[in-house]
Amino acid sequence: MKGIIKKAFEFIRQNPEILYSLAVIIIIPLVLYFNTFFIIQRFRETIETDIQSQAVTTKEPLGALLARDFSSKDSLNREMLQQTIDNITSNINSDDNKLVENMRVVIKDGDKYKAIAAQNHSDVDKIINTDPSLNGESLVVYSWSTATDIQGPIMENKKNYWRFIKPLLDQNSKEVYGLVVFDISQERINNSIAAAVWWAFAVLALVIILSLFLTFQHTRLFSYVSLSKDLQAKNKAKDDFIRMATHELRSPVTVINMSIETLKEDLVAVANDEQKRLIEHALISIRNLRDLMADILEVSHIQQGRTDFNPVKIVPADVIKEIVEGVSKKAEEKKLALVFESENFPCSIDVNPVCFKRIITNLVENSIKYTPAGKITVSIKAETSKKRCVIIVQDTGFGISAEGQKRLFEQFYRVKTRETEEIPGTGLGLWMSREMARKMGGDIMLESIEHMGSRFFVFFPLSGK
């Protein structure tokens, strides 16, 4: 038992969310229960008060009606008195709801009490048992002896009533010569309350069942939370490993690259064509590996939030011009025309300069890489209505299919066609470019037609003045 309790506390300590589930199971049903209890109590009290108020108001005119046929001890008209009782009860009661019951006019015969007219005709001339244990009938004695109006709850034949008794007083002697007795049934109240209680507890049971279901579902989520924490820990370990491995590999890769470059220079005079091809192939592979390491390291930095995105106000036209001039040699080597159209762009944007250069450089170099012939145009314009700067990199390259465009910005995804399969790349550049742009409040979009070329649009908000 102690072991189970210890495990339970340990589970709660590791998963404090379980306290929410316990609150759902315990607190909400308790609140509903007590709220229902107090509402029913108030409901009962309100109805009882309303019935008593109506009965008290009705008691006087009833007494007056009956006193008309029994105005004094010596002026009793039994037939008229009985007819009056029958008329009253038939008018007040209905087939579905007998509100007034046991209406009688009672007199004292020696030391006995009996009804001389009654709603239930079988009660006429019956001696009333006034035993104190019969609380309802004992009220008759009390009202006669004290000459006061009486009202109070009673139970007869396992039914609850409110009994009302009004003494009939002689105008001269002020002595009691008769009693008007009638009962107001509480059956309607009890039925209404029973129905309310049934519905209230049915709702309560439904809430408890629903709470248990939600708690069960919530408890099941704990396993997903634990799994998520485990995955986060593994992802962090993976990113840490990649970062460490990339840093560790940089030095040997640099050494290998320098050694092959040196070997290429030393053997340039004596190496044959095949040896030169192998050396050049090794240099390309080393450069690709170096680019892949740099991209993976940058991806790790972005995902871990370690990339600096602090903005600085820059004039993008000046930066882009510098980038285009820097990569123009690569375009010339492929005999491509590389043009920058700035239209004297005077506006500025708030971005991190390093990230901005990385984005534009990557897009321009990609266009050079995937354009076998033709022209690459880099342009910039301001959309003042949308308060944004638009940089467009357009080429006449291979283009991208509609299917390829859907996945182009995914990590490690590369469009594989017969024309592009030999072109080196990591499949990370476009993902990183768009992530960087979005981190700085911008975005990248693409328009492309296969075999006709592509246009990349880079958006950034204009600086506020």
Judgement on whether residues 323 and 454 belong to the same structural domain of the protein: yes
- More reliable by pLDDT, 144 or 214: 144
Q: For residues 212 and 445, what is the distance between their CA atoms, to the nearest angstrom?
A: 48
Judgement on whether residues 286 and 249 belong to the same structural domain of the protein: yes
pLDDT value of position 312? 93
CATH number of the domain enclosing 229: 1.10.287.130
Confirm whether 37 is domain-assigned: no
| Per-residue pLDDT reduced to its tens digit, 111-134 | 888 888 888 888 888 888 877 665
pLDDT-based confidence at residue 251 (cuts at 50, 70, 90):
confident
Residue 327 · residue 338 · CB < 8 Å:
yes
Residue 408 · residue 415 · CB < 8 Å:
yes
Judgement on whether residues 341 and 452 belong to the same structural domain of the protein: yes
* Averaged pLDDT score across all residues of the chain: 81
pLDDT-based confidence at residue 198 (cuts at 50, 70, 90):
confident
Judgement on whether residues 359 and 401 belong to the same structural domain of the protein: yes
Confirm whether 196 is domain-assigned: no
Confirm whether 12 is domain-assigned: no
Judged against a pLDDT cut of 80, whether residue 219 lies above it is answered with no
pLDDT value of position 133? 64
Judgement on whether residues 292 and 321 belong to the same structural domain of the protein: no
Judgement on whether residues 442 and 327 belong to the same structural domain of the protein: yes
- Output the DSSP codes for 267-320: HTTT--HHHHHHHHHHHHHHHHHHHHHHHHHHHHHHHTT-S----EEE-HHHHH
Q: What is the arithmetic mean of pLDDT over 142-167?
A: 83
pLDDT value of position 69? 76
- β-bridge partners, 165: 150, 181
Confirm whether 1 is domain-assigned: no
pLDDT value of position 8? 64
Judgement on whether residues 324 and 454 belong to the same structural domain of the protein: yes
pLDDT value of position 228? 67
* Boundary of a domain, candidates 263, 286, 301: 301
* Boundary of a domain, candidates 301, 335, 353: 301
Judgement on whether residues 436 and 321 belong to the same structural domain of the protein: yes
* Boundary of a domain, candidates 301, 320, 348: 301
CATH number of the domain enclosing 154: 3.30.450.20
Judgement on whether residues 361 and 266 belong to the same structural domain of the protein: no
Confirm whether 384 is domain-assigned: yes
Judgement on whether residues 267 and 313 belong to the same structural domain of the protein: no
Report CA torsion sign: 86, 92, 95, 98.
negative
Confirm whether 33 is domain-assigned: no
| Per-residue pLDDT reduced to its tens digit, 414-429 | 887 878 777 877 788 8
Residue 178's nearest CA partner among 56, 66, 57, 59 is 66
Q: What pTM, to 2 d.p., does this model score?
A: 0.51
Count CB atoms within 10 A of the CB of residue 250.
14
Lowest mean pLDDT among 85-89, 202-206, 457-461: 202-206
Confirm whether 280 is domain-assigned: yes
Crossing angle (nearest 10°) for helices 187-267 and 273-303: 150
Q: What is the arithmetic mean of pLDDT over 177-184?
A: 86
Lowest mean pLDDT among 158-167, 230-239, 374-383: 230-239
Lowest mean pLDDT among 1-15, 25-39, 373-387: 1-15
Which range marks the domain in which residue 323 is found? 307-461
Judged against a pLDDT cut of 60, whether residue 221 lies above it is answered with no
Judgement on whether residues 421 and 329 belong to the same structural domain of the protein: yes
pLDDT-based confidence at residue 135 (cuts at 50, 70, 90):
low
Name the domain count of the chain.
Answer: 3
Judged against a pLDDT cut of 80, whether residue 370 lies above it is answered with yes
Judgement on whether residues 334 and 453 belong to the same structural domain of the protein: yes
Residue 102 · residue 183 · CB < 8 Å:
yes
Judged against a pLDDT cut of 60, whether residue 201 lies above it is answered with yes
pLDDT value of position 86? 86
CATH number of the domain enclosing 375: 3.30.565.10
Count CB atoms within 10 A of the CB of residue 13.
9
pLDDT value of position 25? 65
